[in-house]
Structure 1
Amino acid sequence: MKKLFVVFILLTTVISVQAQNLEEKNTFGPRPDLKGDLTLSFGLNMLRNNDVEALDLRTIGNNSFKIGYSYPVQIGNSNFSFNGGINFSFDKYAFSNDTSLTLNYGSNPNTEGQVIIIDSVGSNVIGNGFVEKSKFESNYINIPLEVRYYFNKNRIDDGGFFLAAGGSIGYLISGKTKIKYVEDEETKKIKRKENFELNQFRYGAHLRVGIAGFGAYFQYDFSELFNPGRGPLNTNDEFTQTTPFRFGLSFNLF
């Protein structure tokens, strides 16, 4: 966790060092005269309080992608703005082990529901093949809200240097797993679309720094990855309470 904060601080410092020159020279050129921002965000997903070994993630492949629109409203004549909007997020988690999410129904699914287990990808799934990659994906629609402080209040509408803090709430659209394996020297894929007891609602907070359509962010989810009492069991036979967090870069298309 400390290393991630160091990375975020370094990104913030780099942007801050360039801020004054960008304000004066407008290096990125004029932006289209359209209110609001259409933003693409690319980041890295990680898990906090992950106490299930089978949920361990690879170093790479845990990609986060978001596309969304936000609209700024200046607060009075101050350097602050309130930004609200909507975005769609697509988060991938790549297992470091040859495992995959599996639904495990009780003897009476109508009353006992279902839970998630992290099952080994065995011969019953891929025959005599071997696993190259196994991952799952969660897709949400989100409502982000944030307050920004601009160092130059006259640049709120055209990309001045800012610091921001805010939060968001999201609703699960879909979930899916994908297993990529090799059998008889042929690469094959198995995809399965389910909600996999991923949390139907998620909420969290974020920090952001940016200038001229470019930014860096850190986002932390307060909600658990899985529905309470439905996720995988840890070594103490307790349901995991792991929570995701992510950091990355964002770019405004306008």
Structure 2
Amino acid sequence: MKKLVYLFLAGFCLSSGMAQAQSKTTKNPTEPDTIIYTKDKTIKVFGSSWAYTKTDDGKWVLDFEDEHEGKDHYKQKKNRFRTGMSNDIGINIWPQDSDAPQVKPWGSWNVALNLSGIQELGKNFEIKTTAGVSWYNFKFEDTNIVPTKTPDGLEFPEFTGDGVGTKSKISASYANLTILPTIKTTNQKLRLGVGAYAGYRIGGRGKFVYDDADGDKQKLYEKSNMYVQDFRYGLRAEIGVGDINFYINYDLNELFQENLGPQVQAISFGITTFDIN
């Protein structure tokens, strides 16, 4: 009798264990698995990123990351002096004056070839020193005037010869020195520099181009200083966004010698490029 009781209890335990094992391995098709959903939003601006992550309990978590963080990039460049080439390409204008012919911006090119040195004084500050040569070109809207240097000053008479004027301009070249303190973001994606420059004139001329009665192109040159000032000085600003750099120069002195030309101050603006080691 005891043996039958033992066998019954053993069979009952065995069947109960199998049922529990089966219940653990069998999924109820009406009860789906639990899934945790999250949402991510990442905003990247100038090398820095802000990541917003929504957790399963509905909260948003903000993570900030700078691509330069943890690197010794700026530590290596601190107090480092670098040199290279920089070039300006832009246009020249002057504010309209009653005695001055109107300047045509397209064709009034401002070109500069420079040797630059940059002294980094910290992560967010540097000083750029530039020495080079620039060319002022002022192309006139009225292509039928002839820039003429006379003992009494610069004049712009109408062309009276046989033919039609196609180009009228004056130009001057300067050797310049510029100093530009600059502040910048840590990742160098935004830069702002404001400084000053001074230059000495090394060349100048007037030019008039016309088509004669036969349709042939003729050129007249006035190889002189055209009463342009020997010295120039002014303010310069540079704005850098990413890999693009804009500049503007504003002459504080008048372009022409006193009482010998129009009372105008030159303004130049455009894009500057760098090849700095």
Structure 1 segments (4+ residues) deviating >6 Å: none
Question: Does 1:148 find its partner at 2:182?
Answer: yes
TM-score with structure 2 setting the length: 0.66
- Cα 1:199–1:60 change in 2 (3 A) is same
* Partners of 2:67 and 2:147 in 1: CA distance: 52
Aligned to 1:120: 158
Structure 1 residue aligned with 2:97, among 45, 50, 54?
A: 50
Question: Does 1:88 find its partner at 2:126?
Answer: no
Deviation at 1:211, TM superposition (A): 5.4
* Partners of 2:179 and 2:267 in 1: CA distance: 17
Letter in 1 for 2:237: L
* Partners of 2:194 and 2:268 in 1: CA distance: 15
Deviation at 1:177, TM superposition (A): 1.4
Q: How does 1:101-140 map to 2 (within 5 A)?
A: 101-105=147-151, 114-123=152-161, 128-140=162-174
User: Which entry has the higher C-alpha Rg, 1 or 2?
Assistant: 2
Q: CA RMSD in A?
A: 2.6
* Partners of 2:258 and 2:45 in 1: CA distance: 44
* Partners of 2:185 and 2:160 in 1: CA distance: 57
* Partners of 2:246 and 2:201 in 1: CA distance: 25
Report SS of the residue matched to 2:266. strand
**Structure 2: segments with no counterpart, 5+ residues:** 1-43, 49-65, 69-80
Structure 1 residue aligned with 2:269, among 226, 247, 251?
A: 247
Aligned to 2:228: 198
Aligned to 2:106: 60
Question: Does 1:20 find its partner at 2:44?
Answer: no
Deviation at 1:191, TM superposition (A): 2.2
Aligned to 1:175: 204
Deviation at 1:70, TM superposition (A): 1.4
TM-score with structure 1 setting the length: 0.72
Is contact 2:93–2:105 with CA below 8 Å preserved after alignment?
no
* Partners of 1:92 and 1:121 in 2: CA distance: 20
Letter in 2 for 1:37: G
- Cα 1:19–1:197 change in 2 (3 A) is farther
Q: For each residue in 1:217-244, what CA deviation from the matched residue of structure 2 results, as whole angstroms up to 9, or x when unmatched?
A: 111111101011221xxxxxxxx32111
Q: Which has the higher contact order (CA 8 A, sep 6+)?
A: 1
Aligned-residue sequence identity (percent) comes to 22
* Partners of 1:135 and 1:91 in 2: CA distance: 10
Is contact 1:213–1:252 with CA below 8 Å preserved after alignment?
no
Q: For each residue in 1:155-203, what CA deviation from the matched residue of structure 2 results, as whole angstroms up to 9, or x when unmatched?
A: 6xxxx54210011001011111121111111112222310011011001
Is contact 2:148–2:222 with CA below 8 Å preserved after alignment?
no
